[in-house]
Chains A and B, each alone.
Chain A
Amino acid sequence: MKKTFKKLLFSLSAVLLAAGMAVTPAAEVYADSPYRTYTVDGYGYVTETQTAYLPYATITKVGEETLVGPTDFMLTDDGQIYILDSGNARVVVSDMEGNLIRTFGEGTLVNPRGLYVTGNGICYVADRDARSIFLFDGEGELIQTYGKPDHPLYGSTQDFLPLKIVVNEAGTMYIICESNTNGIVQISPVEGGTFLGYFGTNGTDPSLWNIVWRAIQTDAQRAKSQANIPSTPDNMAIDEKGLIYTVTRGEQEKTLKRLNIAGTDMIDGAADAYEDTPAAVAVGNHDNIFVASTQGYIYEYTNEGELLFVFGGSDDGQQRIGLSTKLEAIQIDNEDRIYVLDSDNAWIQIYEPTEFTGLLHDALYLFSKGRYTESKEPLTEVLKMNNLFDYANMAMGRALIQEEDYDNAIVYAKLAKDFEGYSDAFWEIRNNWLKRNLVTVILIVAALWILVKVVKVLDKKKGILKPVRAALHRVGEVRLIRQLRYMFYFMRHPLDGCYGIKRQERVSMGSANIMVCLIILFYIINKYFCGFLMKTVREGSYDIVSDIGLIVIALVLVTGCNYLVCTINDGEGKLKHIYCSFVYSLTPYLVFTPIIFLLSHVVTDNEVFFIEFAQLFMLVWIAVLVFISIREINNYTIKETVKIIFLTVFTILIALLLAFIIYVLWSQVFDFIHSIFGEVVYKLGN
């Protein structure tokens, strides 16, 4: 009874099983998935979506051969599966139904870890412990062996421990070696193996923090800390164009790379949802990239590195189909099925795309080929099934832009958080609006101008605005209003302004507090209701309490610390004066924010410059005001002022540290009390 290729979900009835017959490889998927499928939106937020791939079948044995700790496998175009049965140090070749075709490599291989089969059926095996690359022909005969390159550039002390291998059409081998941090070893088949150099070296992390940290470490500490050497890629794949894809553990946001012939990363960190522990990578039929993580998660990216789906998961002993224990390798067949190799369970699990994924792939293919109008049909279907699928919304938006249907395009772009598409569509919409309304606008402006002129003339002659002016004057002379109005004076004449605060009591705590409230209000309005392109927070998320808290705490800290530092440095300023001058120094914020806010609703990416400039201008102005305030209020020299500013920053840091320490200590105490209480309650309860 040969029951090798077991269709777990749609297996045969008991009676027929006993009779023993071959399993039909028909495509009846018959289950719900035990895992969820997620995608990310434009903000990098994870959202749930339809099941993208369903478990389809599992290969647990090949013929009567059991696998032990397999580490790599490969599908060939002629429908064979080469499995590297590492535990048995051999290669097992199977057909798609799980029937054994042949095994080879017994006796030759020692501890093989990687395998690659070329289009003409030559099988390359990377053997770690044999320190060699073995080449077998289609019949499994050993035809060639490559050992450690003897090229001086390779490094004579550098060991050769090959783990993974891919081969391009010219026969050039790309080899990942254990503990070789120089990069991927590139060997050409010419003259029995010519070392071509290293390829796709990972970078180190030259962050400011690392540099500072290493500078202050002692030599002994530096020796103990993790060496700042680049990590070796963990696995790789090669596509039809000869591009190499690598995955590397712990490479922060660059775990996935697509390297061209020159070794340049064409994704360059654009993969917005990365995996910490990738195990393998594969390239699909639409240039989409698949990454399997050791924990059993499977990712599908577009060729630009945008996450389409992530699904799967680790099996915590429940033994559910579709979950994995330790993934080692991943392959894609012509029908977009995903094959993953689980070395702990020694099986290959096959996933099949659902209707939804099929449609999405169609759309992606058309879209990437620039056939936008055609891509709209499958995209519409995809969006019917999932309104919130960001990538489809983005593609739909772009397609509509191509068709010059900007009004609809902008809706999709906004849903997808596709800022570029939104900007383009908005530019067109604005342009159209201007075209249509330019005359009207000019007419209105002209009419207004004339109206103002007429009123002015009339006022001059007959004083029609007199009562209005008088009223305004009366309001303006209310003390609080006068104090508030002082901010505009302060902003333009900071030296006199400070004098006014210090000597003439031109402002009060009340007016300063009102200004703080206004700042908070403006901050919140600008943060949550500014134009889509300028928004820094996710749509639909509000966190008012921490916004207010942040501003208040910052103000209290700066004022308090500055006051403390000034008092012991012969400063003349009183707390009230320091506080008021700081708040009044923020006046440019109150003046510029409304402008920025209004602008943010009408600019596109092309004019963002205006906003950025306004923001910079505002910040510089505030900085100057603060500097002058400190100097004037305390009657310092410039040098003293600089010193005071540094001291204040330092004091703030110390204060924060202190607060942190107190928090930690108190939480320990609370935890302790809580523990005692918990135990007492439990004991009393019994």
Chain B
Amino acid sequence: MAIKWKKRKKSWREKIALLLTFACLLTLPGVLSFPLTARAAQELNGHKQIAENDRYVLYMNEDYLSIIVQDKATGKYMESAVSYDDGKNNELWLGQMRSGLLLQLIYGTNDTMQADLINDDVTKEITYTDNGFSADVYWNDYKIGMRLEVELTEDGVTARIPDDSIREEDETYYIGTIAMYPYLGASYLDDKEGYMFIPDGNGALIYLDDKEGRFKSGYSTMIYGTDIGFIDNTVTTLFWEKYKMVNTANSVIAPIYGMAYTDDGIAYLAVVEDGAERATIEASPNGASIDYNRIYARFIERKLYKQPTSNNTTIGSFDTVETDRSHSDLQIRYLFLSGDNANYSGMAAAYRNYLLQNGDLSKKDTSYRTRVDFLGTDRESWVIGTSAVVMTTVDDIRGIYEDLEDAGVTDFFSAYKGWQKGGIYNLPVTSYKADKEIGGTSELTKLTEEAAAKGISFYLYQDALRINPTENNATFNVIKQVNKRKYVEDTYQDVYEEFNFLTPARTNALLTKFAESAAKKNVTNLAVGGVSNNLFTYIYSGTSYSRYDCADSYGQMFDALDASTNLALEVPYAYLWKYADAFLDMPLYTSSYIYEDESIPFMSMVLKGVIPVYSDYVNFEANKQEFFLKMVEAGTYPSFYITKESSADLIYTNSSDVYSSEYSVYRDTILQYTQELKAINEKVEGAYITGHEIRDNGITVVTYDNGVTIYINYSTSQQSADGHTLEGMSYEVVE
């Protein structure tokens, strides 16, 4: 059955391909002989031209509010309304594929009701502006209205819905989600050559080839991580009812996605400028419901949630909808790229420029450093309460630094974890007070000074988000989920079984207070985790706060801290990048979704040469050699999690997942990695990555704007590229 269906599809495609080739051949002389601007044809696939600038022409269809963006230089274009219908789509799908606005409404407890501009009774008022148009749209049946503003810019197009234009005038219908131009750049099966870029992990591509119906669904992930305000912990399936077996997928750390037609030489990178905090990225390869490849951002306005009424959530709960919708303007900027830039390398460069120009990123000291983090103390259970497990004291660190210095290495970055009184999980940290087991506050201050004198970046780490209810009073200042239940995070460990989350206001107060007390001792290097990569909807003392509020609070907090301190942030989300003096724990892999065809170091390409990026801990990688090559490829600096004592001591603590960390085991690896990676990174100091290419023989080629090229051979056998021969699992730097 399936085979027959596929065969018919193929013959269709062949016909189309033939027709297209013919059409191209016929029109080619025409295109060549007339300059584009001179052509009288101001219509394209039922769209009329409404704006143009030096590089692009914008077309628009008044019925669908759909647009076409055409590159003047090449004549190639991307359309938001799919013009080719394979005849297998029903009205709803066609509405989705062509409408400029796509809504999901919440009606009762049904949140999948579609509203678009084609199948529904809609009143539109279109006003043309200099560079585009503005359309007031009103769904008469649902009494829902909003204004869509589209503008052609120098580098592409922006689409925007101002928050104050959104109206919901009927109590029965609520807006669940809104998408603008969901099918911009969508393509049918393998009609186009190219890929969709999704920000999964460091970055991934989904090719626009024929997937032969293998995938039932696509990528659908919230920008800036899952909203724990809505998470229902009881539904997680656990191995042996106790252990978390499946790793959480990587969070989306930057609000971007892209579509590239590599054969046509046209591509765009979409940046969700406003509303990213509460939006998802949806990318579906062909075969997932319909045979089109499409990628878009979907803004969430309201969401259904389960309100439990008894302790037993399975019986006593009902579905209900958020009382208020979230408030933010919604804006997407499509940065168009053409020619040689119409690929992911071009997207990365475009995004970097965009961030630098808007001040969302600024150049920091990116000189090479090996990250050697230390674990001070953790606690294990004892007859009464807990007792300290001391892993690395201040003196130990001093000794390790001296030892490494003797071996000729001084370029270090260190985040000291578990230095605070009561150990690593005595959270939150309220003041600059070191545990006496590691040597006490004055010793720590002294070490900080010594490290600074040696040129070592020595940071004090803290998780500013979590509070440990066993050690501290967590009755107040902790967040509740939308269902008004206190949020509890399970650690699946034995000493401290759960944590709560502090409200952003409380985090701000405590972190600021801490920074002040530390600044008095001239300790100004802070490594911060928890708050750098979490955003949530929450309720505190009866008031609801959205993810926008949460992001605002954290943004303001870091803005203030940035003035007086140096900040190293743990996997920071893009809105915090400008505050980061170091980016910690950059993922080098994707989440291994089956529909992903390629893993690319996109985020690294954006950030290389701008801020120093450190990898995940090398300790816990099972394939060390491959991980090393990954770091060479992405230009990230290596990270080690080091303890003086054997990690076996941690077995009965909450840090029992640190199963390998002893300094004596890692000393040689640290020296070797530093030597090799320093040599490479000094050649590309401050340079940007301009090109990245994955070849079929297992070789990856990375080019920098200072002319350096790095070849990496991931295959186990000898391979050659551009006249360079590489042994299996090796790399070569060419200047």
Q: Please report A residues at the B interface, Cβ cutoff 8 Å.
A: 8-18, 21, 24, 26-36, 38, 46-52, 54-55, 58, 60, 64, 66, 297, 310-314, 316-323, 354-357, 384-389, 415, 524, 528, 539-542, 544, 671-672, 674-675, 678-679, 681-682, 685-686
Contacts and interface: CB of A to CB of B under 8 A. Distances in A.
A316 B237 contact: yes
B64 interface: no
Interface in B148-183: none
Interface stretch (B517-525, B551-559, B620-628): B620-628
Contact of A16 (B656, B661, B696): B696
A544 B494 CA distance: 15
Given A24-B715, A319-B217, A320-B249, A66 B3 contact: yes
B405 to A, nearest CB: 24
Nearest to B385: A542
Contacts of B587: 32
Contacts of A10: 698, 714
A488 B647 CA distance: 48
Contact of A297 (B245, B307, B308, B651): B245
A14 to B, nearest CB: 5
Interface string B632-655: 000000000000001110011000
Contacts of A31: 589-590, 592, 599
B717 interface: yes
Interface residues of B, number: 82
Contacts of B323: 686
A83 B245 CA distance: 29
Interface in B224-240: 237, 239-240
Contacts of B381: 540-542
B314 interface: no
B312 interface: yes
B459 to A, nearest CB: 26
14 contacts: A9-B596, A13-B598, A13-B695, A15-B262, A16-B696, A29-B623, A32-B592, A33-B592, A36-B244, A313-B245, A318-B249, A319-B217, A323-B246, A524-B383
Contacts of B593: 318-321
Given A34-B247, A320-B593, A356-B622, A679 B660 contact: no
Contact of A14 (B193, B217, B717): B193
Given A14-B207, A671-B312, A321 B240 contact: no
Contacts of B201: 32
A14 B264 CA distance: 13
A17 B247 contact: no
Nearest to A678: B309
Contacts of A317: 217
A522 to B, nearest CB: 13
A452 B661 CA distance: 54
Nearest to A547: B383
B697 A540 contact: no
Contacts of A321: 592-594
A10 B662 CA distance: 34
B621 to A, nearest CB: 8
A318 B215 CA distance: 11
Given A311-B245, A671-B312, 7 more contacts: A14-B262, A26-B715, A29-B623, A314-B237, A322-B592, A387-B660, A675-B309
Given A14-B207, A321-B593, A54 B623 contact: yes
B592 A9 contact: yes
A389 B620 CA distance: 13
A54 B594 CA distance: 14
Contact of A21 (B624, B626, B662, B696): B696
Contacts of A15: 193, 262
B484 interface: yes
Contacts of B316: 671, 675, 678
A87 to B, nearest CB: 11
Contacts of B657: 48
B194 interface: yes
A46 B243 contact: yes
A671 B311 contact: yes
Q: Which of the listed residues A18, A38, A314, A540 has the most CB atoms from chain B within 10 Å of its own CB?
A: A540
A430 B316 CA distance: 62
A579 B714 CA distance: 77
Which of B308, B597, B625, B715 counts the most A-chain CB atoms under 10 A from its CB?
B597
Interface string B513-542: 000000000000000000000000000001
A13 B624 CA distance: 25
A438 B43 CA distance: 106
B445 interface: no
A320 B592 contact: yes
A38 to B, nearest CB: 6
B594 A384 contact: no
B207, B247, B494, most chain A CB atoms within 10 A = B247
A219 to B, nearest CB: 37
B280 to A, nearest CB: 14
